[in-house]
Structure 1
Amino acid sequence: MFDDTDRRILRQLQEDPTISTAQLADRAGVNAATCWRRLERLRERGVLRGARAVIDWQVLGFTVEVSLRVTLDKTVPRAFEDFAAAAREIPEVLEIQTFLGQVDVRLGLIARDLAHYQALYRDSILTLPHINDLEALMHVARIKTDETVPL
Structure 2
Amino acid sequence: MLDNTDRRLLRIWQSEPELSLADLAERAGVTALKAGRRVAKMEEAGVIQGQEAVIDWRALGYVVAVSLRVTLDKTAARAFEDFLEGARAIPEVTEIQTFLGRVDVRLHVIARDLGHYQQIYRQRILTLPHIADIESLMTLTEVKRDEALPL
- TM-score interval w.r.t. the shorter chain? over 0.9
Q: TM-score, normalised by structure 1?
A: 0.99
How many percent identity over aligned positions? Answer: 62
Corresponding residue for residue 66 of structure 1: 66
Distance in 1 between the 2:37 and 2:146 partners? 28
The DSSP-based 3-state class of the residue aligned with 2:7 is helix
State yes or no: 1:118 paired with 2:118.
yes
The Cα shift of 1:40 comes to: 0.3
Corresponding residue for residue 146 of structure 2: 146
Distance in 1 between the 2:93 and 2:133 partners? 18
Query: Given residue 141 of structure 1, which amino acid in structure 2 is its aligned partner?
Result: T
Residues matched between the structures, number: 151
Query: Given residue 101 of structure 1, which amino acid in structure 2 is its aligned partner?
Result: G
Q: Which runs of 4+ in 1 moved over 6 A?
A: none
Root-mean-square deviation (CA), in Å?
Answer: 0.4
- Listed as ranges, the matches of 1:19-98 within 5 Å are 19-98=19-98
Distance in 2 between the 1:133 and 1:97 partners? 16
What's the CA shift string for 1:41-80, capped at 9, x where partnerless? 0000000000000000001000100000000001011100
Q: TM-score, normalised by structure 2?
A: 0.99
Query: Given residue 30 of structure 2, which amino acid in structure 1 is its aligned partner?
Result: V
The DSSP-based 3-state class of the residue aligned with 2:66 is strand
The Cα shift of 1:118 comes to: 0.5
Corresponding residue for residue 106 of structure 2: 106
The Cα shift of 1:18 comes to: 1.2
Give 5+ residue unaligned stretches, structure 1. none
Distance in 1 between the 2:55 and 2:20 partners? 21
